[in-house]
Structure 1
Amino acid sequence: MEKIAFLGLGRMGLPMARRLKDVGHELRVWNRTPGRAEDLDATDDPVEAVRGAGVVVTMLADRVALAEVAGRIAGELTPGTLWVDMSSVGPEAVAELAGQLPSGVGLVDAPVLGSVGPAASGGLTVLAGGAAVDVERARPVLAALGTVVPCGGPGSGAALKVVVISAIVGGVAVVGEALAVADAYGLPAELTAGVLGSGPLAGLLARATSIEADFPVRLAAKDVALADGGRVLAAVAEGLNSRPELADRDLARYVDALRAEVVAAAR
């Protein structure tokens, strides 16, 4: 097992780093905000974290954070180092990162599908893009975190993540509005859920009404915006961004807010 530098200990990054430690990987961690990893070998300097590491894993909030970290550490990486970016930043940001890396440093884009629970248990789906040799080298690390899905060349993992998360978030928003329409008609919630849950929308209904998931509205809006899609996705992103009070709440709470508006209007 190669020494790992893990940079970014947010909602997903921290349980992922702990998971890698639990399965036996040696790692040094860094987070922009200190004090989140007292049980891990942490440093307050990202350059110190990557020194001597064979694999650098980043799990950062957005492309701005990724570019900032890359600006601090890219020049310190030596040939043979492999950078595995697991952030949800889109293929353009991955291409920008590749352009910053010194010759001989490999890059795999490997964003994930799943929430905090699967991150801690190794139950994520990992969408891996990059040169085949780099993806295979990264596989022992990625497989500890979940099921690895090779997607193709550089940027393909990041691209597929944008596609899938746009469908999920957009679908949850549509199901949420459908539930609000049902409330407006006065339909029993159990009846509506029973019919929706018996067909192809079952998974989206479960996500729209979840009380266990932890995917903040602000990150859902950011991920949908990466698609730069048409009217539907643009409307979904606008709706999510219109709820700043829900920014750090799970996506399902956005659905709750839509339904609460209908109830309040009916009074």
Structure 2
Amino acid sequence: MRDIGFIGLGTMGLAMCRRLVEAGHDVAVWNRTPRVGAELVALGGRRVLLEEALGSAVVFSMLSNDAAAEAVFSEENLRLMPAGSVHVGFESLSLAAADSATARHAAAGVDYVAAPVIGRPPVAAAGQLNILLAGKRAAADRVEPLLAELCSRTWYLGDRPRLANLVKICVNYNLIHTLQALSESVAIAERGGVDPALLVELLNSTLYPGPAYGGYGREIAARRYEPVGFSVELGLKDLSLAEQAAAETGTPLPTAPVLREMFERTLAEPDIAELDWAAIAEIVRRERATS
């Protein structure tokens, strides 16, 4: 059993934290919205103040964006963490935010390991995530036994935390293209009189087996965008991270403007703005080509 602090109980954080509690770890949980996490307390987790969660030897976090991560792990708050403790950040950050976090942790004498995850909440609940890992090798080795309870594999990418975030940005940029490709293909099939579920089954059984085409394809074909695994707003955030990383590395992204338009138009539609990010498919469905 390990003493763990867990900060950030959104949909993903909640699923991951539950696994740790059910494994018998002593988990001190903190969330910015206090009412979240009642089920963890019922299972044996401890709801605590932020300073107590930060006082754990190992602190995990799953926060929504750069601003939230910088607010919780500020210079002032990092001074509350014991020297030699490890913070594992599961959130997806921009490269600039990852560099800033690395510098703040080093100044506070706290090891920082970036560990963004690949997988949706049901995958997290089953302990089958893939975790992208970057930070000092010794610190990564210290937390790997705990991470093993959350994932099917860790991918160690190097000693600079930004590298894990860079790879996560690339993964999500590919996934955004997958959503758009499915959106367009399903719309063509529907308008041509083909059952879109059959098209998705064909794609997933032949060219693209796996959770992206299988899971998101079924959602799009059935127009089933709830429960929300990942929101449209967060999808646009991740697209922005890809645009920022491309600008830093001097990489052209010819398709990014079209993808941005799809997300922005989805957010402008009240009936789909709060749904899963696969709901960008509805923008294509609602349009008619003009000649």
Q: Does the alignment reach a TM-score above 0.5?
A: yes
Corresponding residue SS for 2:255: helix
Give the letter for the 2:213 counterpart.
L
Q: Decide which of 102, 113, 126 is 1:98's aligned counterpart.
A: 102
- Picking from 144, 149, 166, the partner of 2:149 is 144
The equivalent of 1:127 in structure 2 is 132
Quote the Cα distance in structure 2 between the aligned partners of 1:184 and 1:138. 51
Within the candidate set 215, 231, 239, 2:254 is matched to 231
Please name the residue that 1:5 is paired with.
5
1:164 to 2:171 alignment: yes
User: Where in structure 2 are there 5+ consecutive unaligned residues?
Assistant: 247-252
Alignment of 1:1-267 (within 5 A): 1-38=1-38, 39=41, 40-43=45-48, 45-51=49-55, 53-71=56-74, 73-101=77-105, 102-146=107-151, 147-154=153-160, 155-189=162-196, 192-193=199-200, 195-203=202-210, 204-206=212-214, 207-210=216-219, 211=224, 214-228=229-243, 229=246, 230-244=253-267, 245=270, 246-255=272-281, 257-258=282-283, 260-262=285-287
Q: What letter matches 1:217 in structure 2?
A: V
Residues 55 and 81, structure 1, Cα contact 8 Å, conserved in 2? yes
CA displacement at 1:190 relative to structure 2: 5.4
Is the 2:95–2:165 Cα contact (8 Å) retained in structure 1?
yes
Q: Measure how far apart 1:241 and its partner are.
A: 2.4
1:116 touches 1:213 (CA, 8 Å); kept in 2?
no
Seen in structure 2, the aligned counterparts of structure 1 residues 247 and 13 have a Cα distance that, compared at 3 Å, is farther
Give the C-alpha shift of residue 181 in structure 1.
2.6
Contact 2:200 2:217 in 1 (8 A): no
CA contact (8 A) 1:179 1:259 kept: no
**Alignment: residue pair count:** 262
- Residue identity in the other structure for 1:161: K
Aligned counterparts of 1:136 and 1:191: Cα–Cα separation in 2 = 45
Q: Per the alignment, do residues 67 and 187 of structure 1 end up closer, same or farther by CA in structure 2, a change over 3 Å counting?
A: same
Closer, same or farther: CA 18–193 of 1 in aligned 2, 3 Å: closer
Aligned equivalents of 1:8, 1:190: Cα separation in 2? 36
> Does the Cα contact within 8 Å between 1:170 and 1:233 map onto a contact in 2?
no
The answer (yes or no) to whether the contact 1:216–1:248 under 8 Å persists in 2 is yes
Deviates more, 1:118-127 or 1:71-80: 71-80
- Identity of paired residues, percent? 28
**Alpha-carbon shift at residue 15 of structure 1 (Å):** 1.3
In structure 2, the CA distance between the partners of 1:188 and 1:145, relative to structure 1 (3 Å rule), is closer
TM-score (norm 1): 0.89
Deviations 1:55-93 (A, max 9, x none): 111100000100111125212122111010000113321
Q: How far off its partner does 1:162 sit?
A: 0.7
Q: Secondary structure at the match of 1:242?
A: helix
Determine the C-alpha separation between the residues in 2 that align with 1:25 and 1:190.
42
- C-alpha displacement of 1:215: 1.8
Alpha-carbon shift at residue 137 of structure 1 (Å): 0.7
SS in 2 for 1:243: helix
Please tell me whether the aligned partners of residues 87 and 110 of structure 1 are also in contact (alpha carbons under 8 angstroms): yes
SS of corresponding position for 1:88: coil
Give the conservation status (yes or no) of the 8 Å contact 2:197–2:218.
no
Range that drifts further, 116-125 or 205-214 = 205-214
Structure-2 change in CA distance of 1:190 and 1:136 (3 Å): closer
CA displacement at 1:116 relative to structure 2: 0.9
The one-letter code sitting in structure 2 at the alignment partner of 1:138 is: V
Contact 1:208 1:251 in 2 (8 A): no
Q: Name the CA shift for 1:103/1:173 in 2 (closer, same or farther; >3 Å).
A: same
> Retained in 1: the 8 A contact 2:4–2:59?
yes
Report deviation, 1:242: 1.7
Instruction: Quote how far apart the aligned CAs of 1:248 are.
Output: 3.1
